[in-house]
Amino acid sequence: MRVVIIGPAYPLRGGLATYNERLARAFREAGDEVRLVTFSLQYPDFLFPGQTQFSTEPGPPDLAIEVSLNSVNPLSWWAVGRRLRRERPDLVVFRFWLPFMGPALGTVARLVRGNGHTRVVAITDNVIPHEKRPGDGPLTRYFLSACDGFVTMSRRVLGDLQRLGFGRKPAQYRPHPLYDNFGPIKSKAEALATLQLPAAVGYLLFFGFIRAYKGLDILLEAFADARVAALPIKLIIAGEFYEDSAPYEALIQKYQLADRIIRATDFIPNEEVVNYFCAADLIVQPYKNATQSGVSQIAYHFERPMLVTDVGGLAELIPAGVVGYVVPPTPGAIAEAIVDFYANQREAKFAVGVREEKKQFSWPAMVGALKEVALAS
């Protein structure tokens, strides 16, 4: 099968690019011919909250990546769409995560489908965004209506598709596969030594871009709980601020947490991810709303216990009491779980559960789901 994946990829950086590149390898491992089409411009600078959209690492030499789609230039949408319509790939996989991308991706999809041969399937991270803006609904529907079918990575998004009126199109739920491209597991001692952190205390990890919906403020308040403060532990915050850091710094000062926080608030390159996860006792995702999270799949790969909040689709992948905790998104509930984790020495037990549960999150299963949806459309 000839496959084209359209979405972020090198030279762009971040979880979406990492996922799409790993998906391309999974198609290739299945015997398919695959290439990626990514953005020459993903976001105008005034819409991008981070430091840079582009990677400073070398590009993947094993992948064919075409940098040609400009999210705000309709001429590029038409050029990409018309070229793919002529080339007649068997399957085009779109990655859809934000209504802003609806016009560009929806136009390309319509043009490609005009050849009567190519099937268009979208991996829909979200169809109702975490941070709502005017016009989200029409932009999202413009894209969704151009697709033949969908694969979602949470049951919540599958339900959202039905509520938006797209329940008649072929769709499957398939869990987010493991992020197994960050290298092998390290010992905790080696990871701590690499990060120059003392082994005399324990570490919690909050990882990823910092945005309001991810609940770092809730975690900081939980860390101020007297029961947690009595524990010999520190919190590693590893990820770039995608909003003003001032409210978080105010909480750190208010609760006098500075000596209990390890800041790594720049973008974390792929080769350094292993150190942060393997150094941590527990990965904490205190989200206020969510659909799914790639952070969970990194934690599964590195066989680290998890604490997640019971919002959106997070709990679908985290069996409570087996691989960690699922709690309400409140400081008190998070603090109670942290205390239980250390007081009852649950790390080893949960790590065993993680090793067993991770077996279900395979890339071949995702490739299979995309092909099944395409054939059913």
In a domain, 288, yes or no: yes
Same domain, 159 and 216: no
In one-letter notation, the amino acid at residue 349 is K
In a domain, 100, yes or no: yes
Same domain, 75 and 160: yes
Same domain, 165 and 20: yes
Residue-level pLDDT at 377: 84
Mean pLDDT of 205-218: 93
CATH of the domain at 25: 3.40.50.2000
Residue-level pLDDT at 46: 58
Question: Which CA distances in Å does 232 have to 244, 308, 330, 356?
Answer: 29, 21, 22, 29
Edge-to-edge strand order for the sheet containing 233-238? Answer: 261-264, 233-238, 202-207, 282-285, 306-309, 324-327
Same domain, 123 and 205: no
In a domain, 235, yes or no: yes
Same domain, 235 and 329: yes
In a domain, 183, yes or no: no
Same domain, 123 and 164: yes
Same domain, 121 and 167: yes
Tokens representing 154? 């949470």
In a domain, 255, yes or no: yes
- Give me the DSSP letters along 146-202: T-SEEEESSHHHHHHHHHTT-TTS-EEE-PPPP---S-----HHHHHHHHT--TTSE
In a domain, 293, yes or no: yes
Same domain, 210 and 97: no
* E strand segments, the chain: 2-6, 33-41, 65-70, 91-96, 119-124, 149-152, 171-173, 202-207, 233-238, 261-264, 282-285, 306-309, 324-327
Q: What is the DSSP letter of 99?
A: G
| Domain total in the chain | 2
Domain, as residue range, for 264: 188-359
With the C-alpha atoms ordered 304, 305, 311, 313, is the resulting torsion angle positive or negative?
Answer: positive
In a domain, 267, yes or no: yes
Same domain, 217 and 82: no
Same domain, 169 and 22: yes
**pLDDT, tens digit (0-9, with 9 covering 90-100), for 175-188:** 999 988 899 999 99
**In terms of Cα–Cα distance, which of 163, 175, 119 is closest to 373?**
119
Q: Are 273 and 298 in contact (CB under 8 A)?
A: yes
Same domain, 124 and 41: yes
Provide, rounded to the nearest whole percent, the portion of the chain with pLDDT above 70. Answer: 96
Same domain, 211 and 143: no
Determine which of 271-275, 288-292, 343-347 has the lowest per-residue pLDDT on average.
288-292
Most confident of 39-43, 146-150, 356-360: 146-150
In a domain, 182, yes or no: no
